[in-house]
Chain A
Amino acid sequence: MSMNPEDRESSRKRHEAQTQLDVSRTLRAYQKQWFANLRREVIEEGRPFAISGPNVPHEIWEALDIPFITDVWYTGLVAARRQSGYYSDFLTREGYHENLSRYSALTWAVLLDEENTDKPWGGVPRPSLVCTSQQDRSAAVMAARVGAVFVPLETPVLDKPQLDWWKRSRWQWEDLDGEHRIDVMLEQYRELVSASEAIAGKKLDIDLLREIVDRVNRQEELFDEVRDIIATAPKLPVRLGEVMSQVMGIQWHRGTEWAYEQARAFRDEVKHRADNQMWACPNEQYRLMYVGQGLWQNLGFFTEFEEKYGAVFVRSNYLSIAVDGYIRYGAKDPLRALASRYVTMSEQMHIPGLGSAWAIEEARRNRVVGGLSIRGWWGGKMINLALEEEGIPILDFPVDAVDGNTWDQARISALVSDFIENRVIPAARR
């Protein structure tokens, strides 16, 4: 699925009409300007540039003033522009079969595709440095193709999972994550620091890094307030699509002054809307949650169910993991705090037992009566079973989070309608 310029303008207008938050507009404007600056600095001024996976301590790059993007952020941009189908096909034509994950790889497809000039926000410059999980084979292969330095991070297996991890992550992180696991991440981060210093041409200022790590803590505290407002307000004050875009738009810049200020403006606006009973769907009847990934390829899709059923989506992993996964207090060494922040990042949402316990806690907190689980999230079945046992029906949603080739509007609309009518409404009445 791809859009011509007319379709894109029409989609932009539709999106604008559905936008309820001022911060959604300021976020978009900032991101476009920031990315244009980044492209100018990298392409015209020759500054070194880095691409990272989602669970990489890019706070280090903030401290070294290295421009960077996160691959999944740009993939989200590709998906939102309805170009994921095109770039997924490009990868297939390059020989990367269609079962391989496109979640981070679409960014690389945009970079490698030299024929199509219609690229999201002008396209991705060639990086000097790439850092992702060792398990992300696509990044290693693509980094080699473009001649970038590749720093892989091996994540130690969580050998002693603790079900109530989110209660321990802020202060008890040495116990929660295990000293041996934090130690090995720390050693690898030292390698990343060396590689980054070589690119940046300067040494890491550890006091500046400490400031950045602490600023991330304070930013996530603001998100904590947002989560609390959404969970406790009588009705949903802000659409989930806007929350997800806002949270991740800020998260990819976490540690910067801009990110902190944007998070504060976000919190203020959500609070204002809740205080003044400005509801996303005044006829709210049923509160639903996302389990696992978000539907990045079509964030506005669920708005149609507000009108039809009074069904609203109130919760996704993105805001909640920002609150429960990132904060690390009491660190003497900021690099060690980062090692703990990322050593289990994302995995705690998948691992059987951990993912379920958290999802149930979140469902209760947000008073949800049903959920939707996008297929392809490992650990998803265990989470879905646990939620069903709690009386929360879950729709197993058969589309890819970002690949537009898996989208069939009529079939998917019918599927969600059927789920709401035959599972959610009866469950809510019980």
Chain B
Amino acid sequence: MPLEAGHFAKLKAHYTDRARAMKQARAQGGRIVARVGSAVPAELILAAGFMPVLVAADRSRAAPTAAKYIDDVVPPETHALFEAAAQGDFDEVELLVLSRVYDKLYFYLKEIYRQGLLPGLPPLHMFDLMQNRRAALTRYNEDRLLDLRLRLERAAGAPISDAALREAIVLCNRARAAQRALLDLRWQGHIDGEAAMQAIGAGYFMHPADYAEALEGYLAQLHAGKGAARPRLLLATAEPLTHTTLHEAVERAGGRIVAEDDWWGARAPGGDVSLDLPPMEALLAKYCFDTATADSYPVEDRLAWFEEAAQRSDVDGVIFYIPPSDLQYGWDYPRLRARLQEQAKPFLLIRQDASTSSGRVHLAEEAANFIGQIRGSRVDKAGAAP
């Protein structure tokens, strides 16, 4: 069966039309709790009887309301999410749970609502989990997770049972396991980066049971063929990859992105939520220390992952995407660049904004040149071999 049909088609459809699953659930009387950011536990939302749906920034959409209120120094992702709220995208949602890195969005939404300008906005909950291993933060984080649980129980009108929570954890772990299997196959060259991004990203919008089933079905089809040998590239990004623009450009130019340091791609699943610990403790460990997020948290863990991936012998080069809106990642870039230089690993820095047409043109040119250089170097090495 062609990959465009069947399971992959379903995943791609949900990745592309991100409100699709939410609308279907609403049509069937389902109740929705939306998450802003990856660090909001879907397990708790499921266990409370809601369908968890991520709200994602659509940078291709004009954002006139955001431009009126929000400063340019605030990340473009926040502009896009604010615009979605202003356009009524969240009106069907019962509760909007925002993670720590979206604090500015929380403040803007709260104030505009106070001014009476967003009457359809659902109630907001700030889930301020500090993704850091320091002991000084443990109690605060435990209380934040408990607060979220109580908030969800209040919204549901019923307590969350341990059995329901455990069931939700098992279900989400099943989806994570399927994602990890996908990533393994991707490293082996069985799937392009763009398709992988779509297959992974769909999980943020679908019900975990539907998603796990679709992804497992897709994986079963994937063993059929292996792609042609192309330069294998690692992508490091300063902003969340809510789109596949970079993957499309790089793969059209003849490369293959085998992994990306981003929660929309290879960093999505991480490990499982432990079933050996009490559920709340297990969730805290997972979301504090093993959940990649939009900012550099936990910074050292993120950099360690990148360095380990970059030094793999089956990674031919690294692309850094650091658009002008970056305010943080650029401080780490020189150090990461130096490590690559020490290893003689080719790298490319993209500074143009890939969401603009001129940025995309530049990206295509730079990617083609970079991939050409890697190919040329391979030929040189082959020629120089004894």
Contact call B70/A96, Cβ cutoff below 8 A:
no
A187 to chain B, nearest CB (A): 4
Q: Does any Cβ of B come within 8 Å of A303's Cβ?
A: no
B75 to chain A, nearest CB (A): 10
B128: chain A residues within 8 A (beta carbon): 156-157, 159
B356 to chain A, nearest CB (A): 15
B131 to chain A, nearest CB (A): 9
Contact call A381/B134, Cβ cutoff below 8 A:
no
* Interface stretch of the complex, out of A80-88, A136-144, A252-260, A311-319: A136-144
Tell me whether A157 and B126 are in contact in the complex, defined as CB-CB below 8 angstroms, given that A187-B136, A378-B73 are known contacts.
Answer: yes
Within 8 A of A (CB), among B75-115: 100, 103-104, 106-108, 110-112, 114
Contact call B69/A137, Cβ cutoff below 8 A:
no
Contact call A96/B134, Cβ cutoff below 8 A:
no
Contact call B73/A377, Cβ cutoff below 8 A:
yes
B104: chain A residues within 8 A (beta carbon): 378
Q: Does any Cβ of B come within 8 Å of A100's Cβ?
A: yes
Contact call A137/B70, Cβ cutoff below 8 A:
no
Tell me whether A137 and B299 are in contact in the complex, defined as CB-CB below 8 angstroms, given that A99-B327, A100-B331, A187-B140 are known contacts.
Answer: yes
Tell me whether A353 and B111 are in contact in the complex, defined as CB-CB below 8 angstroms, given that A99-B330, A378-B71, A381-B69 are known contacts.
Answer: yes
Contact call A183/B330, Cβ cutoff below 8 A:
no
When the two chains form the complex, which single residue of B71, B130, B325, B351 contacts A377, counting CB atoms closer than 8 Å? B71
In the complex, A180 Cα to B296 Cα: how many Å?
24
B9 to chain A, nearest CB (A): 40
A137: chain B residues within 8 A (beta carbon): 296, 299, 328, 331-332
Q: Does any Cβ of B come within 8 Å of A65's Cβ?
A: no
Q: Does any Cβ of B come within 8 Å of A417's Cβ?
A: no
Q: Does any Cβ of B come within 8 Å of A134's Cβ?
A: yes
A16 to chain B, nearest CB (A): 36
Q: Does any Cβ of A come within 8 Å of B74's Cβ?
A: yes
Q: Does any Cβ of B come within 8 Å of A154's Cβ?
A: yes
Q: Does any Cβ of A come within 8 Å of B312's Cβ?
A: no
In the complex, A135 Cα to B296 Cα: how many Å?
9
When the two chains form the complex, which single residue of A94, A99, A134, A380 contacts B325, counting CB atoms closer than 8 Å? A99
Minimal Cβ-Cβ distance residue in B for A151: B134
Contact call A95/B337, Cβ cutoff below 8 A:
yes
Q: Does any Cβ of B come within 8 Å of A361's Cβ?
A: no
Contact call A134/B330, Cβ cutoff below 8 A:
no
Tell me whether A376 and B69 are in contact in the complex, defined as CB-CB below 8 angstroms, given that A100-B326, A352-B112 are known contacts.
Answer: no
In the complex, A376 Cα to B73 Cα: how many Å?
6
Contact call A141/B130, Cβ cutoff below 8 A:
no
Contact call B351/A97, Cβ cutoff below 8 A:
yes
In the complex, A352 Cα to B68 Cα: how many Å?
13
Minimal Cβ-Cβ distance residue in A for B297: A134
Q: Does any Cβ of A come within 8 Å of B61's Cβ?
A: no
A158: chain B residues within 8 A (beta carbon): 107
Give the interface size bracket for B toward A.
35 or more
Tell me whether A96 and B111 are in contact in the complex, defined as CB-CB below 8 angstroms, given that A137-B299, A159-B128, A180-B140 are known contacts.
Answer: no
A381: chain B residues within 8 A (beta carbon): 68-71
Interface digits, A98-137 against B, CB 8 Å rule (1 contact, 0 not)? 0111000000000000000000000000000000001101
Contact call B330/A140, Cβ cutoff below 8 A:
no
B149 to chain A, nearest CB (A): 15
Q: Does any Cβ of A come within 8 Å of B132's Cβ?
A: yes
Tell me whether A96 and B136 are in contact in the complex, defined as CB-CB below 8 angstroms, given that A157-B100, A352-B112 are known contacts.
Answer: no
B130: chain A residues within 8 A (beta carbon): 154, 156, 184
Tell me whether A156 and B334 are in contact in the complex, defined as CB-CB below 8 angstroms, given that A97-B351, A380-B71, A382-B69 are known contacts.
Answer: no
A378 to chain B, nearest CB (A): 5
In the complex, A187 Cα to B296 Cα: how many Å?
23
Q: Does any Cβ of B come within 8 Å of A310's Cβ?
A: no
Tell me whether A96 and B74 are in contact in the complex, defined as CB-CB below 8 angstroms, given that A352-B107, A382-B69 are known contacts.
Answer: no
Tell me whether A385 and B69 are in contact in the complex, defined as CB-CB below 8 angstroms, given that A95-B337, A96-B331, A141-B332 are known contacts.
Answer: yes
In the complex, A68 Cα to B133 Cα: how many Å?
27
B369 to chain A, nearest CB (A): 20
Tell me whether A351 and B107 are in contact in the complex, defined as CB-CB below 8 angstroms, given that A97-B326, A97-B330, A159-B128 are known contacts.
Answer: yes
Tell me whether A378 and B74 are in contact in the complex, defined as CB-CB below 8 angstroms, given that A97-B351, A161-B107, A191-B136 are known contacts.
Answer: yes
Q: Does any Cβ of B come within 8 Å of A300's Cβ?
A: no
Q: Does any Cβ of A come within 8 Å of B137's Cβ?
A: yes
B70: chain A residues within 8 A (beta carbon): 381
B357 to chain A, nearest CB (A): 21
Within 8 A of B (CB), among A335-374: 351-353
In the complex, A392 Cα to B114 Cα: how many Å?
22
A138: chain B residues within 8 A (beta carbon): 331
Question: Can you report 18 A-B residue pairs in the complex whose CB atoms are below 8 A from each other?
Answer: A96-B333, A99-B325, A101-B327, A134-B132, A138-B331, A157-B100, A180-B143, A184-B140, A187-B136, A187-B137, A191-B134, A351-B111, A352-B111, A352-B112, A353-B107, A375-B71, A379-B71, A382-B69
User: Which B residues form the contact surface with A (CB < 8 A)?
Assistant: 68-74, 100, 103-104, 106-108, 110-112, 114, 126, 128, 130, 132, 134, 136-137, 139-140, 143, 296, 299, 322, 324-328, 330-335, 337, 351
By Cβ-Cβ distance, the 3 closest A-B pairs, closest first, are: A95-B334, A352-B111, A187-B136
